[in-house]
Homo-oligomer: A and B are copies of this chain.
Amino acid sequence: MKNKLHFNTPLDSSNSSVFENIQKEQESIGYYHLPEHNIASILSYCETIPCDIESIAVIGIGGSSLGAKAVYEFIKPVENLKRKLYFFESTDPINIKGILCEIDLDKTHFLVISKSGTTVETFAIYKYILSLQPNPKHYTFITDPKSDLEKYANSIDATILHLPRHVGGRFSVLSVVGLVPLALCGIDIKALLFGASSIKKSFFEQGYLHDILLKKSLFYAKNHAQYHINCLFAYSESLKYFCEWYVQLWGESLGKKQRSSAFNVGLTPIGLIGPKDQHSFLQLIMEGTRDKSVTFIQIEDFQDEIKIPNTTLPHLEELDSLNNLTFSQLINMQCNSVMEALQAEENIPLDTISIPKIDAQNIGALIFYYELLTSLVGELMNVDTYNQPGVEAAKIILKKKLKALS
């Protein structure tokens, strides 16, 4: 993975103090340790799932599904996976019925994932699916130790896996939450963690990402009042769900009341996919208010090369310049063209990330890069990166509404 910043920002004293704080944070925040954690128990758990299980279905929402979905949808188009992965992550009845039409209940293993053990969406869906597939052998429960969900799972003699301590939902993709569904589909989770580990080392052991991540986070935090929208412009359809994961990570971590002042601050994440969004959001970046930073993500080599044939269409000869290009070349030329067009404008901070190819190691690297960046920006913006107090109010209102019904 390469990352090049196209904006200038000096390193200053806040950089060394933020680095110290992040180093210290490792003692209390669990996700930093995930790249090196022992996955033997996950791999042996996977061996217990029968070969005739063709599909894995996650029943979970938010941090319980977005990470695994990002990795699965990235890798699925290029690898011949062992099992299909589905996500029940909405209470939309049409959506639930749609997924049920695609799976064979007797050949599906369900992963019920809820950190707290009481997520409304998850249990509404679980109750419904349980009425269709009552065999406890078809379920594994992933939750915090000693949650009520663990007690329930014990009572029906189902398998339980625990989330590691001090790992929040949106930082949990490299724990059992993401690794179990991915490993069950045959995705190389060792390579995924190796990719994450390489980024971690590069940052903490003063490798090339050390200065880059510090400079980028300092720029975002210092200028958050002006550049409060951060666009991720990824040039591959396979990164669509990575963008959704990014939106949760960034928005839920950095949209907060500040620790010191209780002042509302926030950086708004936007996920874009190129070249499609050149025909949509680009106009707004080019000519709209100067409140957006843009990070381009490119895949250097799509490997499975297809070429534009060497044909001339009568009256459309000007399109002959496309001939003999691979689509991989074309999409990257498109990305570079948009980047150059934006560089010619003033006040649009840009940077580019490029990854060599589509595989588990590279998505692992991207994930850890963004987790680290989020931690750094959160620290510099003086917010609690790891909580989400703002989502509680709606949950309490829903509970009241439900109580009023019964």
Contacts and interface: CB of A to CB of B under 8 A. Distances in A.
Interface stretch (A8-16, A17-25, A31-39, A390-398): A390-398
B316 A118 contact: yes
B94 A77 contact: yes
A123 interface: yes
A98 B121 CA distance: 32
Contacts of A235: 92
A353 interface: no
A320 B96 CA distance: 20
Contacts of A306: 93, 96-97, 128
Interface string A268-281: 10100101101111
A391 B286 contact: yes
B228 A391 contact: no
B61 A120 contact: no
A96 B325 CA distance: 15
B286 A393 contact: yes
Given A128-B306, A252-B283, A313-B127, A394 B61 contact: no
A247 B288 CA distance: 14
A370 B223 CA distance: 33
Contacts of A169: 279
Interface stretch (A49-57, A186-194, A205-213, A333-341): A333-341
Contact of A311 (B130, B273, B318, B326): B130
A82 to B, nearest CB: 18
Contact of A247 (B63, B280, B311): B280
B388 A283 contact: yes
B94 A321 contact: no
Interface residues of A, number: 120
A93 B329 CA distance: 10
A327 B118 contact: no
A30 interface: no
Nearest to A239: B92
Interface of A: 61-63, 66, 77-78, 89-98, 117-118, 120-121, 123-124, 127-128, 130-131, 148-149, 151-152, 155-156, 169, 228-229, 235-238, 244, 247-248, 251-252, 254-257, 264-266, 268, 270, 273, 275-276, 278-292, 302, 304-309, 311, 313-316, 318-323, 325-328, 330-331, 333-334, 336-338, 340-342, 344, 358, 388-391, 393-395, 397-399, 401-403, 405-406
16 contacts: A66-B280, A89-B276, A92-B237, A94-B237, A97-B306, A123-B316, A124-B308, A156-B314, A169-B279, A228-B289, A244-B280, A264-B288, A268-B292, A287-B389, A321-B399, A334-B398
List of 5 A-B pairs having minimum Cβ-Cβ separation, nearest first: A266-B288, A62-B279, A255-B284, A286-B390, A255-B288
